[in-house]
């Protein structure tokens, strides 16, 4: 049977574009449907604009720290509108870059929602296209917890990049990495931040030393973190959003016009017509095998819509592995072991491999922990009490390093390098045999005894 396309990709985010470009390199005729801007969550509502705001949030502390090194005091104020405008201008520039990449690869871009009519036919607006293979790469979106009264008055993380004015007081609901990052961003930019979490510690799923280290640092920087005993209640008042909080005691906080719900994301599967293609959904996500194939032989899915590891580099690697396997004659799968990740909080945190708890669950007492907690040299003159934590999780029987975790400046940059060693199966002896770069924080990973 003849089709309009060899491959049609639904969604022009990180995974979809990576797959489309790689497939096109193999001479495949590729089409892509996208209803919004190119680049998906990462470019438009996530990694990129958020990291730019992280950078912006660090300047006040740098101005203050400079005084410890002999610089005179700096009086400076934030022009919120200018910051938001320049951040979004960079997002627009990147959209143009993605468009040029698709054009150069010879990939057809069709604007609009794509809906399955059958396993090989898609409807995009009034247009119908057919494809031999279809890749779903529609990503996910933030969700608001329905159990919180008044949650309709709160915004989600997507909205943070378009606020016309900086909130003086903000309440953030949720202790995951998105809530933590925005709490630190807003505090650094000068807002008063109250963060509401359901557990004793933020960042569930990360190593406990990392979780406690980041939480302690956030509190030192002035962020109020409250452990909830009941869901908060949000009311809209003339003064702003009144948030009633029940923790160790009951109190109310009035946030000026904004309360951020950062309690999670879910796959964006609405309007796809998956039932018309008999694509199986499991626990709200598209079910796939190790080759990203769905329950339908010719339909595949990558990225956040599969809810495996929701990280941009993972989606990109999944997309390329799919294209290599299906169109390049290079069968390969994505490995989900030892995937590094970072939280761009203040202090920053990063991790690769097993947490201490995960390792002990598998190996019990065979796990040995190497840990260092110290005040970094940078702060010997600033007067700050910020602490850095570095940690290795090791299997005593094999001497293999199972996990590496860090809290402190440049944690992401350092763990990215450490991740190569962990991925290659390095042992603690390999770390010990490596000469450190002195004086640096990174050298602690090769000097711990």
Residue 405 is among the residues annotated as catalytic for this protein: no
CA-based nearest residue to 320, from 307, 310, 333, 304: 333
Rounded to an integer, what distance in angstroms lies between the CA atom of residue 133 and that of residue 112? 19
CA gyration radius for the chain?
24
- Strands 224-227 and 192-197 turn out to be parallel
* Residues 6+ away with beta carbon under 8 Å from 255: 167, 169, 170, 171, 194, 240, 241, 243
Question: Tokens at residue 272, please?
Answer: 């796809």
**Cβ neighbours of 393 (radius 10 Å):** 26
Catalytic residue from among 141, 162, 405, 438? 438
Contact 20, 102 (CB under 8 A): yes
Rounded to an integer, what distance in angstroms lies between the CA atom of residue 352 and that of residue 339? 6
**Cβ neighbours of 417 (radius 10 Å):** 12
Element of type H or E holding 301: strand 299-301
Q: Number of C-alpha atoms within 13 angstroms, CB side, residue 11?
A: 31
Rounded to an integer, what distance in angstroms lies between the CA atom of residue 29 and that of residue 303? 22
What's 196's DSSP letter?
E
Kindly list the catalytic residues. 438
């Amino acid at each position: 049977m003849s089709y309009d396309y060899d491959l049609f990709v639904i969604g022009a985010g990180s995974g979809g574009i990576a797959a489309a470009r790689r497939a096109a390199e193999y001479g495949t005729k590729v089409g892509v449907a996208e209803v919004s801007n190119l680049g998906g969550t990462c470019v438009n509502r996530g990694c990129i604009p958020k990291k730019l705001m992280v950078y912006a949030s660090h300047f006040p502390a740098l101005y203050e720290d400079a005084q410890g090194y002999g610089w005179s005091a700096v009086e400076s104020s934030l022009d919120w509108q200018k910051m938001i405008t320049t951040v979004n201008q960079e997002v627009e520039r990147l959209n143009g870059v993605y468009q040029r990449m698709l054009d150069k690869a010879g990939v057809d871009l069709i604007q609009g929602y794509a809906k399955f009519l059958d396993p090989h036919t898609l409807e995009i607006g009034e247009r119908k296209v057919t494809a031999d293979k279809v890749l779903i790469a529609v990503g996910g979106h933030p969700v608001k917890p329905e159990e919180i009264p008044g949650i309709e008055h709160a915004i989600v993380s997507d909205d943070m990049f378009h606020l016309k004015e900086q909130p003086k007081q903000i309440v953030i609901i949720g202790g995951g990495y998105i809530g933590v990052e925005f709490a630190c961003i807003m505090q650094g930019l000068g807002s008063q931040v109250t963060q509401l979490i359901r557990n004793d510690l933020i960042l569930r799923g990360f190593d406990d030393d990392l979780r406690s280290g980041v939480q302690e640092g956030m509190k030192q920087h002035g962020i109020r973190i409250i452990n909830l005993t009941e869901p908060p209640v949000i009311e809209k008042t003339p003064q702003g959003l009144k948030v009633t909080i029940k923790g160790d005691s009951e109190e109310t906080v009035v946030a000026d016009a904004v309360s951020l719900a950062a309690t999670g994301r879910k796959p964006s599967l609405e309007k796809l017509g998956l039932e018309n293609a008999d694509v199986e959904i499991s626990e709200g996500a598209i079910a796939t095998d190790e080759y990203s194939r769905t329950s339908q032989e010719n339909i595949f899915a990558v990225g956040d819509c599969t809810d495996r590891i929701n990280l941009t580099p993972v989606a990109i690697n999944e997309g390329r592995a799919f294209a290599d396997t299906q169109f390049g004659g290079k069968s390969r799968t994505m490995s989900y072991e030892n995937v590094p990740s970072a939280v761009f909080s203040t202090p920053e945190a990063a991790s690769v491999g097993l947490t201490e708890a995960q390792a002990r669950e598998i190996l019990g007492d065979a796990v040995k922990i190497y840990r260092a907690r110290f005040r970094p040299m940078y702060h010997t003159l600033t007067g700050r009490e910020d602490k850095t934590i570095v940690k290795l999780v090791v299997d005593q029987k094999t001497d293999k390093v199972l996990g590496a975790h860090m809290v402190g400046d440049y944690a992401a940059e350092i763990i990215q390098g450490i991740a190569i060693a962990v991925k290659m199966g390095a042992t603690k002896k390999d770390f010990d045999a490596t000469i450190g770069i002195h004086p640096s924080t990174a050298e602690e990973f090769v000097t711990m005894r």
